[in-house]
Structure 1
Amino acid sequence: MANPQAQDIIRCRYCEDEPAVFHCIPCGDDLCPGCKVFHLKSKVPSGHNIVRLSDKFHANNQIKMCEVHSSKAYEACCKDCQAPVCILCIQEVHGEHAIGKIQDLYEKQKAETAEELCKIKTQLKLEIIQRIKDFNEEEKEIKTCHENIREKMKKQGQDFINHIISILREALHESEEDEKRKSEEIFHQKEENEKFDQSLDHLIGKFEALTRSNHPADFLLYLKKNPNTFRELKFPEKVTIAKPLFTAGRFNKFKNKHQFGKFIAGQISHLKSVDDSLQAIQPTFKKVLERSVKLSELKTKREKLLHVRCLDDRSAYISGRGLRILLIDSSGTELDSISTDRQPFGLAVMQDRSLIYSDFEDKVIYRMSLDKKKTKLLNTMYHPRGLCCSRSCDILVCMSDYKYSLSGRVVKYSNSGEILQVFLEDQNGKRLFVNPYFVCENVNDDICISDIEIKNSKVVVLNRSGELQFKYYGNIQSRTSKKEFKPLGLATNSLGHILVADNANNAIHLINQDGNFLSYILTEDDGISRPWGISVDTSDNLWLVEHTNACVKLYKFLS
């Protein structure tokens, strides 16, 4: 009788005599120790992966069948396509591609995925947790703010009601007093006329009695004694009493609403779609290059260049001395030209891609739509310079007036031209600016302003509420700073870095959100001269205009 246990022994596929101890996963063969040596000498695209027979059915050692050729297992990987392939896939599609071991590609992509997951845990996850925390705090702040506003509205409404009641009481009192005065006059006149009526009755009765007398002598003697009886009759004066009138005042809903006060609802700005938002976070993996790479350079025919404002990652508006604003692409090709009545002193791009610019002399901000229709967006109290359109669709304007040394300020307007905030003093009542020149908004909603003085020029950074965060006076210790720090153009990137064009020292400073100097991404050694306006496009490339050379340069400074 055969031994039933012998039937359970798995034999080597090649010699068929010896029990199998090993298993080759790609080939699917069970091997004894002796045949294992010869099996390893045979060549297959994926290479051999020998495991103990006891590990054959482990999840990691299971054969995965090809999704295209269901009868064939994935034996290798295509390095060019970064995908697992079977023998038929190699013959039909990947014959000319580089073929490698599937395990090698797995280990490589596993390591890269682990690195990305680590970044997600340490950066994206923390970013989202912080955002949720910020939203919770903001929800509380919004609720408290609205509760306070509603209390103010109720108080203002009660004050209006009290004022209206006071006016009503005064008007009712006037009516009552007038009624009383006229009632007294009517009573007096009625009394006078009643007395006169009684005297008339007496006179009529007297003469009627005399005419009924049998003796004419009585009648004649009475008239003899009272010759002026009828002539002396004096009628009471005639009094006309006009009826009172009430003319209702004209109620103007619009006017009275503004007399009550105006509620300005804060706008909700959705920066981008969900996919774009993730892309906006992912650039935090970017690093600053050790040396910036020049992508292009354009020498313009303009006399002097002052401003540059990116429209996207392929084009930007530039302006300088003169009455034209140009739209150019990254190769320097002129795409469009806009004529102006005066030289622009600031450029900005709205979220609908329309252009706005400041007219320094006339104290006006103009808007140029995509179809080139020019409209006056708003009038400013002082002379406007640098402009910025925030993500919340508001407009930040730098202003100053040379006649008044304390006029420097930054004003936030709504896109309809209403003043929302005026940034003038810090939390301690000290002046923030002398001559604000350029302004931009950071990814954390901080407002960055370059302030130009004869001495002590600086970059002033405020939070969205207008509270001072820090002032940056340049990298004093650096050998690059040979002259007094003169910050002009400002820009920010996706990492929240602040870029500062140091016009006096021919350098571009890079500082972080806390005002700490990080590096010079460009210096005089890189060939830049008199940088004025700067702007960072959606791909984090730097556009700068050189004032003296009238040159536009494009650099890559993040990897």
Structure 2
Amino acid sequence: MSNPQAQDVIRCQYCEDKSAVFHCVPCGDELCPECKVFHLKSKVPSGHNIIRLSERFHPTNQVKICEVHLSKAYEACCEDCLVPVCITCIQEEHNKHAIGKLQELYEKQKAGTAEKLSKMKTLWKSEFTQRLLDFKEEENQMKTSHKIVRKNMKKQAEDFIGHISAIMNKCFHDSEEDERKQSEAISLQKMEAERFGKNIDLLIEKLESLIESNHPVDLILYRKKNPDIFNELKLPEKFDIVMPSFTAGHFNKSLNEQQFGKYTANHDSHDSHLKLCDDSLQNKQPTSSASKTLSIKTILGFSVKIGEAKTKKENLLYATCLDDRSAYISGEGPGILLIDRSGTELDNVSTDSKPWGLGVMQDGSLIYTDGSDKAIYSFSLSKEKTKLITTEHGPRGLCCIRSGDILVCMGLFNAARVVKYSKSGKKIQEFQTDQNGERLFIHPRFICENVNDDFCISDLNFMNNNVVVLNKSGNLRFRYDGNVVFKTLKEEFQPSGVATDSLGHILIADNANKAVHLISQDGNFLSYILTEDDGISRPWGISVDTSDNLWLVEEENTCVKVYQYLL
């Protein structure tokens, strides 16, 4: 019976007779001790790195594939640019630079990182803990202060109410006193009128008896004695009663606020982190969005797994909205899908290779970059495909701005730039360095335009990842590196897709941390719209539609999700 362990023996790739004991990391060869000597005599740009065969699966000994040249492995480092490079990188971009060993650069950066890490654990950790305690104390003081303020307000209001009540009671007393006097006057007039009425009744009765008397002497004698009896008849004088009235005083709100007292809120510089929209945006906002406010994480539409749709797509990477009902998406491999919110496939655009960026022109035409032939293609609504632009460097993300021009991210390291083209394909302008001549980007990937005419570019280079924001003239406004005050990212910030909405917010997909950052147009962090706790996994491409809904594609789950975050 054969030994089952014999199948596990790895043979030397040179002599094929002896068991392999060593492994060369750059070459990937397994070697016996004798062949190791001959192998070391062969020359490679990065040199050989011989390790024990048992150590070949250690993370530090794994071969890393070049991000730019996917068929090549990182073999060395550029000492000028401080980046890992493959053979093709050296030939194309770094042929005049000093090339060194990866391990040496790693050891230098490892020592520096360890030193900074030690400071973080001691200095920053202790200060962060103390800051949390300060927050708690300030919160308690703030709550106590507000209670005292509200108590004083209530006492002031009670004083005002007491003063107003005193004025009201005096008015009530004056009215009641006038009512009493007027009632007495009316009673006297009434008594005089009743007495006059009784006298009239007696006189009428007397005269009627005299008229009806059988003897005429009685009437004659009575009239003789009372000659003016009819002339003296007169009703008692009547006094008119003036009815009361009330004229309300003028209530001046401003004056009364000064009399009552004014509440003053104490704001500090951190208010900018709570502000949803800068005042400067008011003249930029469309009227349809003027009443919108931020409401985080409200799922609006759908979550569709495109890998299960009619036309399968794997590892979704890019998305751009056509309107508020549909969006173009693409991933690994050729082809672009147009889908609606239900995940229904509306169109399937054929491409020769994998698209590296998607955009929509003002007339609704699709534009996309093709890195394989360094070109930008357009696909019209009449389904006519045209090579619109041929570029000097590999194009990636692109967008069509309000002027009708096209912005394109392209190049790597010293060749990294953003180029503006007219809609006919004529180069207009390039953005490569800032006002001081410093390089703006290392590897620009995604780009979009904001409502204030800024350009927002995600620079994902795995060395100094950030989002670069330029004004319309190409001058640097700020960089956002994801380091939010008092918030800790689990992984290094990895900005991929970037988008803006009608209120000027900048939305950034953070692939490594499985989150979507929301910042103001001036670079102030506002909130995480979505995190891993909300069920998203490795977001890559994002786009905001005409109704300010966020469309997000997930690289791992091959899903498209739509969220409403503005109400």
Please report the TM-score for the alignment, with normalisation by the length of structure 2: 0.49
Please report the TM-score for the alignment, with normalisation by the length of structure 1: 0.50
